[in-house]
Structure 1
Amino acid sequence: MMTTVFSDSSVPDEQRRDLLYRGEVFVYSAAPAATALVTFARELIADAFGALDPETAQFEMDVEDFAKLLAELKPRFIHHPRCKELLPSVMEERGCDPSATYFDVPRLRTSTSHDYLVSGISYAFHPHRDCWYSAPFCQVNWWIPVYGVVPENVMAFHPRYFDEPVANGSARYDYAEWNRVNRLSAAQHVRSDPREQPRPEQSIELEPQVRVVPEPGGVLMFSGAQLHSTVPNTSGRTRFSIDFRTVHLDDVRGHRGAPNVDAACTGTTLRDFVRCNDLSGMPDELAVDYEKRALV
């Protein structure tokens, strides 16, 4: 299929979600709320790395020390109360209804250069859909660079496969089991990562692909059903980025979203989402409904 990238589009959120569910991609220039989130992330990063330049520190640190630093930095960012204050503003800035939009925790991601650290705490993602990991098909992914990025250290979309099935291991993935056994062990895997994660079980044609290069604080939005991957970083700089995910309550209730062409996982991530305006959790009956449907 053909993927269209909408730049600084003014379409309302409902129309945008419909386009995202059809495989389109949106990118927005940096604006005050997203810039504030990036500024906060930079403060935490600078505090963690001290006198070292975070983008080149990998060339001055043993990989085990680098992984240990990230194992302390990333949870600090994820669970910092300031993030829950800033994220709703980022979504409102992009036209989302705070009373109906739910979000999960923001993650600080890293992609090191030249295979320095590609497992565990700095996992380099193979081609995948988030929907292989029990994400709902109405999930929208948000991706924001913290520092400048280039085509050699961003992510790639593989639009041919948006509506084409890919043989994959999602049938062996259960979200509750992943949380119970695997999530907390990420920092232990420095040289390799033995945790089984859904991945293609057939040859994937990586070309043609789409790479989008937003400015720091720019926002990239795409469907969780998009097949995407981490570009092998050859830039000479570690990439830092923020990502989080949103769902709209009406779409969750109505089971509206992108088509399921190949996901067979069980469980649901819906309990991870909280509402923008009051941080209340997703109604549990909706999560139960999705869990039951996943078993059918």
Structure 2
Amino acid sequence: MTTIFSNSGVDDETRRGLIYRGDVFVHSPTGASLELVAFAKELIADAFGRRDPETAQFDMAVEDFAALLAELKPRFIHHPRSKALLVQVMEELGFPPEQTYFDVPRLRTSTSNHYLNSGISYAYHAHRDCWYAAPFNQINWWLPIFEVVPENVFALHPRYFDQPLRNGSGAYEYGEWQRVSRPAAAQHIYSDTRQQPRPEEDFDPDPELRIVTEPGGMMIFSGAHLHSTVNNTSGRTRFSIDFRCVNIEDVRARRGAPNVDAACLGTTLRDFMRCTDQEPMPEELAREYEAEAEALAKAG
């Protein structure tokens, strides 16, 4: 059973334990999350000019829209202000900065009516981040930038949190994805031929969980949750921010959600940096996680 905690004041250790068992936390906007959203809106407005970014897809050739996103998204992702505000967002909700490591915030789009579902605006099939070599102590954050509706958010499939699905994670290796597949995202406009882990058996998407928050509101959940992009029928492009964090003490202790079906190689741990000084995750931990993933894959 998945429980949704709204504006909960539980301490961080308790919260992480609840997230690792599949519970979800939802928070109203804070000062820092509203600043992060406002900054994203500034960059989006600069990129789209006089066009309304939520409806620009109806006035632009899809190739031009993809090219615009290919410049806009990295600008947001790698901007120092994005990272600084992200750290403030976590601190405001009580994530200890000395122990919390984060990856770069990503600007996501979901266009309406299948306008652009590939590459730079990929519409994610049902997946767990752990199929993509995320550690099982990864915590996911999601924030809408503009108003959202049930028809353009994303869905969790909570019944599968502890229920395995046959999937393609055994053929996924994170190092290859970083070297070859991720840099090629903007080239995939009409279809996406990159090999990505996905369910390899039929599954029942219902009941699914969709949470609609106001801009700057936050949804926090385990990267082990099965989740997917909702088929956007809203008539508006959805813009959102997501990022991930881990607690280094949980990384060291192997404390996290259960692995029910992931068999990929590699680890995303090297993507994480400490909140206080942006120092990278210790290399020895990444190597340990890689070795454990390889041993698990060999054990089959």
- For 1:245, the equivalent position in structure 2 comes to 244
How far apart are the structure 2 equivalents of 1:286 and 1:256? Answer: 14
Tell me the alpha carbon deviations over residues 114-163 of structure 1, each in whole angstroms, 9 at most, x when there is no partner: 10000000000000000000000000000000000000000101111000
- For 1:223, the equivalent position in structure 2 comes to 222
Tell me the alpha carbon deviations over residues 56-93 of structure 1, each in whole angstroms, 9 at most, x when there is no partner: 00000010100000000000000111112111100001
1:20 aligns with 2:23: no
Note the C-alpha offset of 1:12: 1.0
Written as runs of structure 1 = structure 2, the 5 A alignment for 1:165-176 is 165-176=164-175
How far apart are the structure 2 equivalents of 1:61 and 1:204? Answer: 36
Q: Secondary structure at the match of 2:240?
A: strand
Q: TM-score, normalised by structure 1?
A: 0.99
Q: Secondary structure at the match of 1:143?
A: strand
Task: Specify the code of the residue in structure 2 equivalent to 1:73.
Answer: L
1:137 aligns with 2:131: no
How far apart are the structure 1 equivalents of 2:78 and 2:50? Answer: 25
Q: How many residues align?
A: 295
Q: Secondary structure at the match of 2:120?
A: helix
1:278 aligns with 2:277: yes
Tell me the alpha carbon deviations over residues 30-61 of structure 1, each in whole angstroms, 9 at most, x when there is no partner: 01000000000000000000000000000000
Please identify runs of 4+ aligned residues in structure 1 that moved more than 2 A: none
Q: Secondary structure at the match of 1:200?
A: coil
- For 2:118, the equivalent position in structure 1 comes to 119
Written as runs of structure 1 = structure 2, the 5 A alignment for 1:83-232 is 83-232=82-231
- For 2:262, the equivalent position in structure 1 comes to 263
Task: Specify the code of the residue in structure 1 equivalent to 2:27.
Answer: Y
How far apart are the structure 1 equivalents of 2:198 and 2:147? Answer: 29
How far apart are the structure 2 equivalents of 1:145 and 1:281? Answer: 27
% identical aligned pairs: 68
How far apart are the structure 2 equivalents of 1:60 and 1:177? Answer: 36
How far apart are the structure 2 equivalents of 1:156 and 1:242? Answer: 15
Q: Gapped runs of 5+ residues in structure 2? A: 296-300
Tell me the alpha carbon deviations over residues 223-254 of structure 1, each in whole angstroms, 9 at most, x when there is no partner: 00000000000000000000000000100000
Task: Specify the code of the residue in structure 2 equivalent to 1:184.
Answer: P
Q: Secondary structure at the match of 1:221?
A: strand
Note the C-alpha offset of 1:4: 1.1
How far apart are the structure 1 equivalents of 2:112 and 2:34? Answer: 25
Note the C-alpha offset of 1:177: 0.7
Task: Specify the code of the residue in structure 1 equivalent to 2:250.
Answer: D
Task: Specify the code of the residue in structure 2 equivalent to 1:99.
Answer: E
- For 2:73, the equivalent position in structure 1 comes to 74
Tell me the alpha carbon deviations over residues 234-283 of structure 1, each in whole angstroms, 9 at most, x when there is no partner: 00000000000000010000000000000000100000000001110100
What is the alpha-carbon root mean square deviation over aligned residues?
0.5
Q: Secondary structure at the match of 2:243?
A: strand
- For 1:47, the equivalent position in structure 2 comes to 46
Q: Secondary structure at the match of 1:16?
A: helix
Deviates more, 1:35-44 or 1:81-90: 81-90
How far apart are the structure 1 equivalents of 2:214 and 2:282? Answer: 36
Q: Secondary structure at the match of 2:117?
A: coil
Note the C-alpha offset of 1:181: 0.9
How far apart are the structure 2 equivalents of 1:233 and 1:13? Answer: 34
How far apart are the structure 1 equivalents of 2:131 and 2:92? Answer: 29
How far apart are the structure 2 equivalents of 1:204 and 1:188? Answer: 31
- For 2:287, the equivalent position in structure 1 comes to 288
Note the C-alpha offset of 1:3: 1.2
- For 2:298, the equivalent position in structure 1 comes to none
How far apart are the structure 2 equivalents of 1:133 and 1:14? Answer: 25
Task: Specify the code of the residue in structure 2 equivalent to 1:31.
Answer: T
Note the C-alpha offset of 1:285: 0.3
How far apart are the structure 2 equivalents of 1:272 and 1:53? Answer: 33
